Amino acid sequence: MNLSDILLSRANYWCYIFIMVTGLYGMTAKRNLVKKMIGLGIFQTAIMLFYVSIGSKEGATIPILSKAAEETGVVIPAQYINPLPHVLMLTAIVVSVATLGVALALLLKLYKKHGTLEEDEILAQLREENEALHAAEGDELPAEKGEK
């Protein structure tokens, strides 16, 4: 078996890696919080697809005992897929939907307060509010890192 056969036999894993890297890029490189949230959803989906593909076997069936197995009492585990990854990914789907729902609610609150979803603009507004608060109290601002 040469290298190209090995790579092609694992093509689904390469697809999951590509999808995962796309989601990771969206979370880290984008400055818009909605785009970061979309990247998070893509990343979570790639992980779920990966785990579901790990749980499948060629030629295997669902883990429900057939009549022949019940009659003979012989169970061949290699004939059945492991249901655990599928069950765990159902839980992960619920957690993913809940996470994205909470993120949407937080983004809505941020937009109402700051009028934007750009990370840099929100941070600039927070810095200005912090400076105004310290100026009103007559306190000096804490020194920036690297300043004396």
* Residue that is written with structure tokens 């076997």 in the block: 57
Q: Is the pLDDT of residue 148 over 80?
A: no
Using CA atoms, how far residue 126 sits from 18, 99, 114, 145, in Å, is: 36, 25, 9, 18
| Residue-range domain boundaries for the chain | 3-57+81-137
pLDDT one-digit tens code per residue, 83-128: 888 899 999 999 999 999 999 999 999 999 999 999 999 999 999 9
The CATH topology of domain 3-57+81-137 is Helix Hairpins (1.10.287)
d(CA 140, CA 59): 71
Full-model pTM: 0.78
pLDDT of residue 141: 62
Write the CB contacts of 95 (distance below 8 Å, at least 6 apart in sequence).
Answer: none
CA 55 to chain centre: 19
Taking residues 15-26, report their average pLDDT. Answer: 96
